[in-house]
């Protein structure tokens, strides 16, 4: 069927964001303008969309922003360069991270060095010289031993001799790391320390799956009373999201996938399906991943798939983006874009309110069960 030229043009304009006509790049073109005007298509286009949604919608004052963090990002320096500035600007309200990212973050707070190198080194020689490699990052084996000693010594202290969730544990660790930074004059190098200063809860969905957990397990053999309660994390994280949706909106920025992705998204099924409280899913979903969706793994699962689980509000699917890109490429670009586009937000300091919000969720759950 032949359609009229006017009808075709109307349809084209309806599905078009804009005509592709980028400016010529110059040496002094600001990075945000490059993202806006040159990143037009394919995953560059998806990254531009993610930057815009993050800066213009997710960072509205009424939106609570959660970040999930997987992959070895802090050893590459992205804690210092990106995550700490975003926390300081009030652009991240709560975090779910692998324990490994927090363990390696601790190296920087303790003044330990990591080095850029290259892939393809002789790993047998590295082992003989007691050098650890994470792809093209290398560091002295003593970093691990020293960080292990730090955690064992710290966690033997009286303040740690109790049961707590991972957010409470990391907040307490952050207190000591912030003090260490202040003593050495190197403030701003640790995500854990910044999260303590700015009241940002950090959960670890698999607390035994890292060197921090391994050292806590060793202390348990000594008779330590330190005990991590992962079920407390489930209710506390759900309480953050439930309160966010009652007051405004909830957005998630997902770097990679795995357990942190599931944990940050399962807050909504916990509220709706398990606790039976009325809710509709996160409002904004931005994911940076290199995983494919067709293998059935969670790391590649799309926002559309997450919508079927109640994790994403179906009315908000236009405000979801999946960008198939390495997080080490995307995060610095998103950080610069957001810091250039918006002034700092008022701090939500959710860590300070965590007991109160959890208590409110418990009261609503009990009230529902009585009715």
What pLDDT shows up at residue 294? Answer: 64
Q: Percent of the chain having pLDDT more than 90? A: 79
Position 371 confidence tier, pLDDT thresholds 50, 70, 90 = low
- Name the phi and psi angles at 18, rounded to 5: -175, 165
What pLDDT shows up at residue 313? Answer: 52
Question: DSSP character for 185?
Answer: T
77: left (phi over 0), alpha (psi -120 to 50) or beta: left
pLDDT in tens, 10-60: 777 777 777 788 899 999 999 999 999 999 999 999 999 999 999 999 999
Averaged pLDDT, 363-371: 86
Position 238 confidence tier, pLDDT thresholds 50, 70, 90 = very high
What pLDDT shows up at residue 318? Answer: 62
Candidate list 57, 175, 311, 370, residue with the active-site label: 311
Give the start-end residues of each E strand in 54-181. Answer: 63-69, 94-97, 115-116, 131-134, 137-140, 163-164
- pLDDT at residue 157 is higher than 80: yes
What pLDDT shows up at residue 177? Answer: 97
Domain ranges of the chain: 30-35+43-370
Instruction: Spell out the residues 6+ positions from residue 189 whose beta carbon is closer than 8 angstroms to its own.
Output: 79, 80, 84, 108, 109, 181
Instruction: Spell out the residues 6+ positions from residue 142 whose beta carbon is closer than 8 angstroms to its own.
Output: 130
Superfamily of domain 30-35+43-370: Deoxyhypusine synthase (3.40.910.10)
**Rounded Cα distance, 131 and 52, in Å:** 41
CA 244 to chain CA centroid, Å, is: 17
What 3-state class would DSSP assign to 105?
helix
CA 230 to chain CA centroid, Å, is: 18
65: left (phi over 0), alpha (psi -120 to 50) or beta: beta
- pLDDT at residue 330 is higher than 70: yes
Q: 311 catalytic, yes or no? A: yes
Bridge partners, 94 (sequence order): 66
| H helix or E strand, kind and range, residue 18 | none
Give the Å distances, CA to CA, from 336 to 82, 173, 329.
8, 29, 12
What pLDDT shows up at residue 110? Answer: 95
| Low-confidence winner among 106-115, 260-269, 315-324, 347-356 (lowest mean pLDDT) | 315-324
**pTM of the full predicted structure?**
0.91
DSSP per position, 272-320: IIIS------BSEEEEEE---GGG--GGG--HHHHHHTTSB-GGGGGGE
DSSP per position, 309-364: TTSB-GGGGGGEEEEES-HHHHHHHHHHHHHHHSPPPPP--HHHHHHHHHHHHHHH
Contact 280, 313 (CB under 8 A): yes
């Amino acid at each position: 069927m032949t359609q009229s030229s006017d009808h075709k043009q109307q349809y084209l304009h309806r599905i078009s964001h804009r005509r592709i006509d980028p400016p010529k790049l110059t040496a002094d073109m600001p990075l945000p303008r490059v993202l806006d005007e040159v990143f037009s298509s394919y995953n560059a286009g998806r990254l531009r969309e993610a930057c815009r949604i993050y800066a213009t919608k997710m960072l509205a004052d009424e939106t609570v922003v959660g970040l999930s963090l997987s992959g070895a990002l802090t050893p590459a320096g992205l804690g210092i360069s990106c995550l700490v500035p975003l926390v300081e600007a009030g652009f991240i309200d709560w975090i779910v991270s692998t324990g490994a990212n927090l363990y390696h973050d601790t190296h920087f707070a303790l003044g330990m060095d990591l080095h850029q190198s290259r892939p393809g080194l002789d790993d047998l020689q590295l082992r003989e010289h007691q050098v650890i490699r994470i792809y093209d990052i290398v560091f002295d084996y003593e970093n691990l031993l020293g960080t292990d000693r730090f955690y064992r010594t710290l966690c033997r202290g009286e303040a740690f001799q109790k049961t707590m969730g991972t957010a409470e544990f990391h907040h307490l660790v952050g207190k000591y790391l912030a003090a260490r930074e202040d003593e050495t004059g190197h403030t701003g190098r640790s995500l854990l320390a910044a999260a303590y200063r700015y009241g940002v809860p950090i959960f670890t969905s698999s607390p035994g799956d890292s060197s921090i957990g391994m050292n806590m397990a060793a202390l348990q053999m000594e008779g330590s009373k330190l005990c991590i309660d992962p079920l407390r994390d489930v209710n506390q994280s759900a309480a953050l999201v439930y309160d966010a949706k009652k007051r405004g909106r909830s957005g998630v920025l997902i770097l990679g996938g795995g357990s942190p992705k599931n944990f940050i998204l399962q807050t909504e099924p916990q509220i709706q399906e398990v606790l039976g409280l009325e809710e509709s899913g996160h409002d904004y979903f931005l994911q940076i991943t290199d995983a494919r969706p067709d293998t059935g793994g969670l790391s590649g699962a799309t926002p559309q798939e997450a919508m079927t689980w109640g994790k994403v509000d179906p009315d908000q699917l236009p405000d979801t983006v999946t960008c198939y890109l390495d997080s080490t490429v995307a995060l610095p670009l998103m950080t610069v874009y957001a810091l250039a586009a918006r002034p700092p937000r008022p701090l939500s300091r959710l860590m300070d309110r965590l007991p109160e919000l959890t208590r409110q969720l418990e009261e609503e759950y009990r009230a529902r069960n009585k009715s």
